[in-house]
Amino acid sequence: MKFSLRIAAAAALGALALPAVAADLSQRAPAPAPVMTYETFDPWMVRVRLIGVLPDGDSTVSVNGGVPISGLKISNAVVPEVDITYFFTKNIAVEAICCLAPHSIKASGALAGIVGAQNKVGETLLFPPTVMLQYHFTNFGAFKPYIGVGVNWTHYFDNDAGNGYSGLKIDDSFGVAAQIGFDYMINRNWGVNFDVKRILMRPDASVRFAGIPVTAKVHIDPWIVGAGIVYRFGGGSGPVIAKY
């Protein structure tokens, strides 16, 4: 009888202890491994700007092989521009820029004194593709400044000589370029942009005035000031990021 009572008491105590043991085991069990997900980084960005092309060079001409004198002035232009940017990392990118810019060419300085009222030498259309290597600063939140250096090739076509002139020819030119600007991102995809570039454009040119050959070293060297909108594909802000 006493043995049976002991068994019953032990069973009752064991039943009471089971919930505490189960709770302790559940607390000691390792947490499940975190599930890793990824936010992919899309490296492409497109900007559409309205730009002012502001030539800032001093050109010289030689009339009939004589001593070089001042004179050509290139007009300003306001045109649309499109660029495509590819990010190798969140900081390093390459930007390809292109537009078409019409300009008129007028005599200035000593040349203007020679040609008198016939100061409009002609018109040309510039195709100036430019490639920039950029560094983007990413520690200012939505404000994302950048700097860049690169190279420009410009083709001059649709050349049209003015009255009294003929045979206007402008050679292609190569030059270095530099830029500074910023994007301000309104959300993960859309933003606004402001950008300033300086490009060295120094083509050789020739024209005939009243049958007399005139050669020129044209220093266009424009400042290019632009503002526009930004679209960033995907919306990632850096290389592949692990999330837990």
* Bridge partner list, 196: 180, 225
- The CATH number given to whatever domain includes residue 168 is 2.40.160.20
What are the structure tokens assigned to 99, written together?
């537009």
Specify whether 54 is located in the same domain as 18: no
Same domain, 101 and 190: yes
Q: Are residues 15 and 86 in the same domain?
A: no
19 CB burial (10 A radius; 0-12, 13-18, 19+): exposed
> Is residue 10 located within the same domain as residue 85?
no
Residues 117 and 69 in one domain: yes
Q: Do 85 and 18 sit in the same domain of this protein?
A: no
Pick from 109, 73, 61: which is nearest to 214 by CA? 61
The pLDDT confidence band at residue 13, using thresholds 50, 70 and 90, is very low
Q: From CA 221, how far away is CA 175, in angstroms rounded?
A: 9
Instruction: Tell me the C-alpha distance between 226 and 193, whole Å.
Output: 8
200 and 163 in one domain? yes
Long-range contacts (CB closer than 8 Å, 24 or more residues apart) made by 119-122: 120/162, 120/163, 121/72, 121/161, 121/162, 121/165, 121/168, 121/207, 122/159, 122/160, 122/161, 122/162, 122/165, 122/168, 122/207
Residues 48 and 23 in one domain: no
Predicted TM-score (pTM) of this structure: 0.77
CA dihedral 110→115→119→122, nearest 10 degrees, is -110
**pLDDT at position 116:** 84
CB atoms near residue 188 (< 10 Å): 11
User: Containing domain of residue 19, as a range?
Assistant: 1-30
Residue pLDDT, tens place only, 220-230:
999 999 999 99
197, 178 contact by CB (below 8 A): yes
Number of domains in the chain: 2
Instruction: Tell me if 46 sits within 8 A of 18, measured CB to CB.
Output: no
Distance (Å, rounded) from C-alpha 30 to C-alpha 167? 85
Instruction: Give residue 117's pLDDT.
Output: 80
Q: For residue 237, give both structure tokens.
A: 């802000």
Residues 138 and 18 in one domain: no
Does the structure show a pLDDT above 60 at 236?
A: no
Q: Report the alpha-carbon distance of residue 135 to residue 147 in Å, rounded.
A: 6
Do residues 235 and 42 make contact, with C-beta atoms less than 8 angstroms apart?
Answer: yes
**Which tens digits make up the pLDDT trace of 109-161?**
888 888 888 899 999 999 999 999 999 999 999 999 999 999 999 999 999 99
Same-domain pairing of 24 and 58: no
Residue 104 and residue 200 share a domain: yes
Which residue's structure tokens are 């309104």?
186
Neighbours of 142 (CB within 10 A): 10
State whether 114 and 56 are in the same domain: yes
Three-state DSSP at 57 gives coil
